Structure 1
Amino acid sequence: MRRYGSAVLLLLVGGAVLRISLFSELYLRYVQPALRPYLVVSGVLLMLLGSVAAVRGMRQGEEEEGHNHPQGHAHGGPRIAWLLTLPALALLLFPPPALGSYSASREEAQRAAQGVGTFSALPAGNPLDISVAQYSSRAIYDTGHSLKGRTLRLTGFVTHGSHGTWYVTRLLVTCCAADATISKVEIHGDEADGAPQTDSWVAVTGVWIPKGKLGTDGAWPPVLKATTVTQVKEPADPYDKR
């Protein structure tokens, strides 16, 4: 069986990649949607290479039997290499979840002055669905106060702070999960009492509350006064949009 080690590993990894990219949307937990075709092609190539390796292993076995090689004399890599199949099998059967509160808690407020200015007008809508990243940017840097007087709805997962505070949080991905950055909004108001469970997903409707001086750490994290808080299902694409 040792001669089939590389074939098994290639087939497992290829199957796992195809499972998350071709047969489901689980790949969105790790990379941007634009990378899906590359994942599918990679998975197909790995499956093909695994199949070729399996056929070569079968032929090698037949040749050895034809030459009456002693049993157990098959060549192959060290047995410990089979351990590499464990993470591949885990990815195939138990794909890791999207980044959540633990990842969010690792990034401190890195909001030193990045320049303030006037943002474009918000589109019509009442309430207006807006990403956590967009809300955060406008609340911290917009000298035109485009959030003022608008009823807004944010969707994200719950993270907790000190003294009972909690946040609607999203992670923004540029390429893949490895470069994720955090955006979060502190939730105030009567509807914020009884914070939802960490990592649960909520849609929060409310109005902007100004905080601190624009473009400084004092404006971070921005605040939303909630009028409704509703638990929702985690979206297929859990990461935020700019």
Structure 2
Amino acid sequence: MKRNVQVLLLLFTGVGLLHIALLTDLYLRYVRPGLRPALIASGVVLILLGAVGAARDGFPFNRPRPDGGHGPGHDRGDGDGHGHGDGPRIAWLLYVPALTILFLAPPALGSYTASRDEAKPPSAGDSLFPALPARGVVDMSLNDFSSRAVWDTSRTLKGHTVRLTGFVTPGRDGIWYVSRLAISCCAADAQVRKVRVHGAAAPPADAWVSVTGTWHPTGELGTDGASPALDADTVARVPAPKDPYNDTVVTRR
């Protein structure tokens, strides 16, 4: 029985990885796009290992051996009064994550994570911030806006209408933020980017929105006391992106 659990777990996990990485874009909820080949390779290897294990044990599993044995999954008595050792029943719980990936992929990180992690001020960088377009609404990433709102002593945000896209993170006393999570490798190393929104009611938590407005200066620029904030003119619901951790701006026309 224990051997059966191991073999089936390998097969289910391998199929689950191929499902999210090869047939869908669900893997983007957990890792960067560049890791897709590694996930596909891992899924193939797990399926091959499971197939080899199944072939070695025969079908059905634990069929009697020619020498009268019962195979590796059938233990002999070990002195505790039981002649059969099926392994701990809790081993079946190992199927939960494998089947979850296959049939019910968990969502990407959202407001729960963002509300519990403090947004670290982005680096000031080594060069001056370039000027923004003189006319029209400027689409900006939350990282770029946050950097300028905290470190840009030249105030290049002043007088410009900007548009930020992210998910809603509720705060205390009616405060809310438009947020993004950035990853270096996978969701485990996610870093929070949050911009406080003034002048608009908060949409539901985790809703993806596009917020158009103007910079709301907060704190002393060039210090950690400054924080990114926006006076909202409009807040529009938008579909969640396929890659929720990619904050790259796509210019609108």
Question: What is the TM-score normalised by the length of structure 2?
Answer: 0.83
Give deviations 1:71-114, integer Å, cap 9, x for gaps: 99835872433331222112222211111111112222544996
Residue 88 (structure 1) aligned with residue 98 (structure 2): yes
Q: Which of the residues 229, 234, 252 maps onto 1:228?
A: 234
Distance 1:178 1:150, change over 3 A: same
Distance 2:63 2:173 in 1: 72
Distance 1:123 1:168, change over 3 A: same
Distance 2:235 2:115 in 1: 22
- Contact 2:20 2:27 (8 Å CA) reproduced: yes
Shift of 1:116: 8.5
Bigger shift: residues 74-83 or 16-25:
74-83
Give deviations 1:130-186, integer Å, cap 9, x for gaps: 111111111111122222222211111101122211110111111111111111111
Shift of 1:187: 1.1
In the other structure, the counterpart of 2:13 is 13
In the other structure, the counterpart of 1:204 is 211
Amino acid of the residue matched to residue 88 of structure 1? A
Shift of 1:22: 0.9
Q: Which of the residues 214, 217, 228 maps onto 2:221?
A: 214
Q: Matched residue pairs, number?
A: 238
Shift of 1:124: 7.4
Q: Which of the residues 59, 68, 87 maps onto 1:78?
A: 87
Distance 1:107 1:70, change over 3 A: closer
Amino acid of the residue matched to residue 136 of structure 2? N
In the other structure, the counterpart of 2:23 is 23
Aligned-residue Cα RMSD (Å) equals: 2.8
Distance 1:70 1:109, change over 3 A: closer
Identity, in percent, stands at: 51
Distance 1:24 1:124, change over 3 A: farther
Distance 1:129 1:113 in 2: 20
Distance 1:116 1:212 in 2: 22
